[in-house]
Amino acid sequence: MKTGGFLRAIIGISLAVLLTGCSFYDIPDGQIPDPYEGVVTSRFHTDEEMRDRMAKDVSKNQGEPLTIGLSQIGSESDWRIASTASVQAAFSSENGYNLIFDDAQQKQENQLKALREFIDQNVDYIILDPCVETGWDSVLKEARDAGIPVIVYDRRVAVEDEGLYSVWIGSDFNLEGERACKYLDEFLKLKHVKSNINIVDIQGTIGATAQIGRSAALEKAVMLNKNWFLLERVSGDFTEAKGGEVMEDLLESFGDTINVVYCENDNMALGAIEKLKSKGYRVGSDIDKGEIAVLSFDATRRGLEHTLNGDIVVNTECSPLYGPVLTHIVQALKNGEEPEHDIYIDEEQFATESAIGMIHIGNDSYEVKNLTQEIIDGRIY
Ligand code: GYE
């Protein structure tokens, strides 16, 4: 895995600090309505204390406030809501920033519009989490012509000229998928499951880097494992509601022939689990006894709770806490430094089966953390 030299320490410190604190976060009874299509997707909630915590280790701006135009995808998942809280807390006016925040409600056209507005307003920096990878060349050229540096985070842009953005920082989504699949492989060996394994893939938003990488890893694993079969893949758009809907359709088509549900985020996994249970299916690790194994990504607090109780067999982490590290990147650019162009962040993987403490992919080894209540209590999102 590649991690830029300049920011390695900063990322290590800020993510480590942010990911380990004690618990003060509680899930309220109320639900936050999804702003698009009226779908209720999330129970995530931030309070003042949590926002402070998400802004830890921020690089404060000295002198005149810097104006930042930040284009966020939406609020489709707990991950996304935590990500918004993190960037809003870090780029606060107290920290010397004037943040213009735009929520695109999961539509690329809204992001393109927001970026053009940022250019018209002549912001100092544009920060973009791109909904999908393609379609950014023109607007990024407009930003370059206007002399506004663009920082991309989380998902990637696929552009002809990589010089159109200054830095990208995010996850290695393909590696996340490989880790999930490798875990499944080890897990099936451990349980001596010899039968064919029928898998359905509930994908994220099609064309988003997180979907592309996670789906591709599964596809490859299915090709490599002769007794794995991919029955179907269908997008749940990263939301809980759609995760449940597509699970219902998959059950109608394949019923109890399904052995594994590979969910490309926690919210879709939670929607799918609820649907499976309500239709009388059993979720869990005993595939030979008819249980359906659910795999998930993100490792949000709710996702981890369902991992600890056995609903999810393995949860591969994806960190949303980008606020502090983005302030470091902005300050580096402001100071004329040249951060690495592409920066991957390190992530973890959690399971309750303690027998698999390590998995190996190529020449690399990755720890699988044995999930405990203490780890969950330390989650702030
Ligand atoms: O997995 C999902 C969110 O891009 C990594 O987007 C992000 C993904 C994350 O909606 O929960």
- Give the largest CA-CA distance in the chain: 65
Asked whether 237 lines ligand 1 (CB < 6 A), one says no
Q: For residue 177, what are the CA distances in angstroms to 201, 249, 264, 360? A: 12, 24, 9, 13
CA separation for the pair 185, 19 (Å, rounded): 28
Domains of the chain: 5-171+320-347 (3.40.50.2300), 173-318+350-377 (3.40.50.2300)
Q: What is the pTM of this model?
A: 0.89
What distance in Å separates the CA atoms of residue 255 and residue 69, rounded to the nearest whole number?
47
Q: Grade residue 353 by pLDDT with cuts at 50, 70 and 90.
A: confident
What's residue 220's pLDDT?
97
**Which two tokens mark 51?**
């926002």
% of the chain residues with pLDDT over 70: 87
Q: The tokens of 373 are what?
A: 């209540």
- Rounded Cα gap, residues 2 and 88, in angstroms: 27
Q: Position of tokens 């490859």? A: 220
* Model confidence pLDDT, tens digit, residues 298-328: 999 999 999 999 999 999 999 999 999 999 9
The DSSP code for 324 is: H
Q: How far is the C-alpha of 59 from the C-alpha of 130, rounded, in Å?
A: 24
Closest atom of ligand 1 to CA, residue 173: 5
Pocket test for ligand 1, best of 76, 84, 132, 318 (most atoms within 8 A of CB): 318
Which residues on neighbouring strands pair with residue 207, listed in sequence order? none
Q: What is the reported pLDDT for 19?
A: 31
Q: Residue 36: which pLDDT band, with cuts at 50, 70 and 90?
A: very low
Average pLDDT over residues 34-55: 54
pLDDT the model gives residue 6:
42
The predicted pLDDT at position 247 comes to 98
Tokens 């709710």 belong to 302
Dump pLDDT digits (tens) for 184-225: 999 999 999 989 999 999 999 999 999 999 999 999 999 999
239-296: pLDDT as tens digits: 999 999 999 999 999 999 999 999 999 999 999 999 999 999 999 999 999 999 999 9
Q: Is the pLDDT of residue 82 over 70?
A: yes
Which pair of structure tokens corresponds to residue 239?
């939301």
So what's the pLDDT on residue 89? 93
345 to 176, 317, 327: CA distances (angstroms): 11, 11, 15
Whole-number pLDDT of residue 26: 30
50 vs 337, which has greater pLDDT? 337
pLDDT at 343 over 90: yes
**DSSP 3-state assignment of 260?**
strand
pLDDT at 27 over 50: no
pLDDT at 7 over 90: no
Q: What is the pLDDT of residue 46?
A: 60
**Order of strands across the sheet with 349-351?**
228-235, 197-203, 260-263, 293-298, 312-317, 349-351, 369-370
**CA–CA distance, 179 with 176 (Å, rounded to integer):** 5
DSSP code string of 128-194 = E--SSSSS-HHHHHHHHHTT--EEEESS----S-GGGSSEEEE--HHHHHHHHHHHHHHHHHHTT--
Is a pLDDT exceeding 90 seen at residue 141? yes
Residue from 6, 80, 15, 85 nearest 343 by CA: 6
Confidence of residue 110 (pLDDT cuts 50, 70, 90): very high
In short, whether 79's Cβ falls inside 6 Å of ligand 1 is: yes
Choose one of 83, 105, 238 to mutate for the ligand 1 pocket test, by most ligand atoms within 8 angstroms of C-beta.
238
Angle separating helix axes 240-254 and 266-278, nearest 10 degrees: 50
- Average pLDDT value for the chain: 89
Query: In the prediction, which pLDDT does 9 show?
Result: 42
154 lines ligand 1 (CB under 6 A): yes
Question: Quick one: which atom of ligand 1 is closest to the CA of 74?
Answer: 10
Q: Indicate the pairing of strand 260-263 with strand 293-298.
A: parallel
- Whether ligand 1 lies within 6 angstroms of the CB of 153 is answered as no
**CB of 318 shorter than 6 A to ligand 1:** yes
What was the pLDDT predicted at 45? 55
Length of the chain: 381
pLDDT for 49 equals: 73
